[in-house]
């Protein structure tokens, strides 16, 4: 049997999902909804009767769940945690820029960047950086931010005011430091974050995941590729990674 505990911000879609599963034949006694805030999740994961937990959310919360389960659940009780990531992409000088820009736009800005797998940081080989960033700015300008019910909308709002404020503060700090590469317009009302590209020295400048339509951009010299990969690996995140190149050996390595 499964107790489905959705994030407190998403009870309606969770209710609908369980209703569909019940209509499809899953017995109600085998799958039940338990909405609520963090205290509900904490009570569940500290109950010794729980035989396993599958969690999607932040790394910090996953670590708390792990500690709670270690203290209360039977030894060996499984925990499956799919957490966030500082997902990176490397674009070298052999890449097809139109393909790279297409994937950057889809990875960083679709779903308003609210996917664990969303692109957070790109490394562009400096030989092609000016041209690629020019194309990226043009592609960003074509994005439409607004009501996701409309088919013309490319980027919707972020989930709530707390999320909005954290992302807006991050962008404001970068703007104060003169690191905004490009930003497009967004509605003034609602929880809309304007898709933004921010310059960074490297992924090490990112101390946390920014869960919104914000792309961090770094450049590298051809001889620095191995070091770039080591730096990405050193973040401790390993969710997704992208590589745009036409060098087969580089792909295999």
Give the active site residues. Answer: 82, 116
**Helix, strand, coil percent content, the chain, rounded in steps of 5:** 40, 15, 40
Q: How far apart are CA 49 and CA 234, in angstroms?
A: 37
Distance between CA 123 and CA 174 in Å, rounded?
18
- Closest Cα to residue 215, out of 232, 231, 203, 233? 203
DSSP notation for 82-99 = E-----EEEE-TTS-HHH
Distance CA 193, CA 246 (A): 34
Q: What Cα–Cα distance (Å) separates residue 17 from each residue in 11, 13, 24, 57?
A: 10, 6, 11, 18
For residue 140, count CB atoms less than 10 angstroms from its CB and return exposed for 0-12, middle for 13-18, buried for 19 or more: buried
Tally helices (H) and strands (E) across the chain.
8, 10
């Amino acid at each position: 049997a499964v107790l489905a505990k959705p994030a407190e911000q998403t009870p309606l879609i969770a209710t609908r999902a369980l209703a569909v599963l019940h209509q499809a034949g899953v017995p109600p006694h085998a799958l039940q909804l338990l909405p609520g805030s963090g205290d509900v999740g904490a009570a569940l994961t500290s109950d010794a009767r729980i035989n396993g937990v599958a969690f999607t959310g932040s790394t910090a919360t996953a670590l708390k769940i792990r500690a709670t389960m270690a203290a209360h659940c039977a030894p060996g009780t499984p925990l499956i945690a799919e957490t966030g990531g500082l997902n990176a992409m490397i674009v070298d000088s052999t890449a097809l820029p139109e393909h790279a820009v297409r994937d950057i736009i889809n990875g960083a800005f679709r779903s308003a960047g609210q996917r664990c797998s969303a692109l957070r940081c790109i490394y562009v080989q400096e030989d092609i950086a000016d041209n690629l960033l020019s194309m990226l700015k043009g592609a960003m300008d074509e994005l439409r931010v607004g009501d996701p019910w409309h088919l013309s909308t490319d980027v919707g709002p972020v989930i709530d005011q707390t999320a909005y404020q954290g992302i807006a503060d991050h962008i404001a700090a970068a703007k104060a430091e003169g690191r905004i590469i490009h930003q497009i317009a967004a509605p003034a009302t609602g929880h809309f974050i304007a898709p933004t590209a921010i310059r960074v020295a490297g992924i090490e400048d990112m101390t946390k995941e920014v869960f919104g339509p914000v792309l961090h951009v770094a450049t590298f010299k051809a001889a620095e590729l191995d070091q770039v990969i080591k730096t990405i690996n050193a973040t401790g995140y390993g969710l997704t990674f992208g590589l745009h190149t036409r060098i087969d050996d580089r792909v295999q390595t």
